[in-house]
């Protein structure tokens, strides 16, 4: 298996790995740095980013995709993307030849990782780069591709606006998600009327300000809770007065309180794989 450092990214190493004449090239990557970032880039091969530990943020096509532990992000070939993270992280990257990716989604998406898919990826990364295509290793890779094509698509996507004023709003909340400023306060801060800000948000991301902020809170809370942080600590950091208020918001969004939600999914994958996370519609 080829192994990279997330905090010492060299695009040429990915190109070298993608040049290996196989349907799939498994690339392991890890980081121990406090913060790391990969500038926008693209490659011909499709890329599956499977997070084992830590959290990876990918910026793709006017949106942010947050990949918590035991979820996978699919990026089709040729799509420009950037990535960043903080703290220790371990991921597997599968570079998939364009000819082998025809049955996979044509858009970026988060895929649910079943116990079987988890096991197949774990086995594939142990193969040598030039694995035997005609033997058992080649058959396992074919099964892996079939499972990827059938994997349910989940919604862990935070849409991002294009208007510079709305981008200031979004980036400010990403940096400080506990900011409890009202719609009117934010509109004044970015130099817009409440009505114009609401209309433009709906036009550009399809969500109201309140729903966008709730989706941000759910996604950020899932990544932190999956890493073992307490509900109380996460709730306070996200600006809630207490854990009860946060749990109420989470239950409306996900249908279950956070502890039950995570326990059900982690219990359903006893081999430590966790399915992707689906967002439910929440009325304003």
pLDDT at 277 over 60: no
Concatenate the DSSP letters of all residues of 156-167 into one string. -EEE---SHHHH
Q: Could you tell me the residue range of the domain that residue 240 belongs to?
A: 161-267
Across residues 85-109, what is the average pLDDT? Answer: 87
Q: Which pLDDT tens digit goes with each residue over 170-215?
A: 999 999 999 999 999 999 999 999 999 999 999 999 999 999 999 8
Q: What was the pLDDT predicted at 61? A: 73
Q: What was the pLDDT predicted at 12? A: 56
Residues 9 and 118 in one domain: yes
Residue keyed to tokens 């004044």: 188
How many Cβ atoms sit within 10 Å of the Cβ of residue 78? 11
What span, in angstroms and rounded, lies between the C-alpha atoms of 148 and 161? Answer: 30
Residues 81 and 204 in one domain: no
pLDDT at 114 over 80: yes
What span, in angstroms and rounded, lies between the C-alpha atoms of 242 and 231? Answer: 9
CATH number for the domain that contains residue 21: 2.60.120.280
With the CA atoms of 32, 34, 39 and 40 taken in that order, what torsion angle do they form, in degrees rounded to the nearest 10?
80
Residue 272: inside a domain, yes or no? no
Residue 281: inside a domain, yes or no? no
Q: Assess contact for 43 and 79: CB atoms under 8 A.
A: no
Residues 228 and 167 in one domain: yes
Number of domains in the chain: 2
What span, in angstroms and rounded, lies between the C-alpha atoms of 87 and 85? Answer: 7
Q: What was the pLDDT predicted at 97? A: 94
Q: What was the pLDDT predicted at 67? A: 74
Residues 206 and 69 in one domain: no
Residue 263: inside a domain, yes or no? yes
What span, in angstroms and rounded, lies between the C-alpha atoms of 107 and 209? Answer: 25
Residue 177: inside a domain, yes or no? yes
Residues 102 and 136 in one domain: yes
Crossing angle of helices 209-226 and 164-175, in 10° steps, is 30
């Amino acid at each position: 298996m080829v192994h990279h450092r997330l905090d010492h990214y060299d695009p040429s190493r990915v190109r070298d790995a993608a040049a290996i004449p196989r349907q799939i090239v498994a690339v392991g990557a890890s980081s121990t740095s406090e913060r790391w970032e990969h500038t926008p880039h693209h490659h011909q091969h499709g890329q599956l980013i499977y997070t084992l530990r830590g959290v990876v943020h990918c910026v793709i096509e006017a949106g942010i995709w947050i990949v918590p532990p035991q979820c996978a992000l699919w990026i089709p070939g040729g799509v420009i993307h950037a990535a960043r993270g903080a703290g220790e992280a371990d991921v597997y990257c599968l570079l998939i030849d364009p000819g082998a990716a025809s049955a996979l989604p044509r858009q970026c998406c988060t895929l649910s990782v079943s116990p079987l898919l988890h096991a197949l990826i774990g086995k594939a990364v142990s193969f040598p780069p030039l694995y035997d295509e005609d033997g058992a290793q080649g058959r396992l890779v074919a099964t892996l591709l079939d499972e990827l094509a059938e994997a349910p698509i989940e919604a862990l996507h935070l849409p991002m606006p294009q208007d510079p004023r709305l981008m200031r709003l979004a980036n400010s909340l990403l940096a400080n998600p506990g900011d409890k400023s009202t719609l009117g306060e934010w509109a004044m801060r970015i130099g817009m009327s409440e009505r114009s800000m609401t209309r433009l948000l709906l036009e550009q991301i399809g969500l109201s300000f309140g729903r966008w902020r709730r989706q941000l809170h759910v996604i950020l809370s899932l990544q932190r809770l999956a890493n073992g942080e307490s509900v109380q600590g996460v709730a306070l950091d996200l600006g809630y007065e207490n854990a009860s208020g946060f749990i109420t918001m989470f239950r409306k969004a996900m249908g279950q309180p956070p502890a039950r939600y995570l326990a059900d999914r982690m219990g359903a994958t006893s081999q430590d794989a966790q399915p992707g996370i689906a967002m439910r519609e929440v009325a304003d």
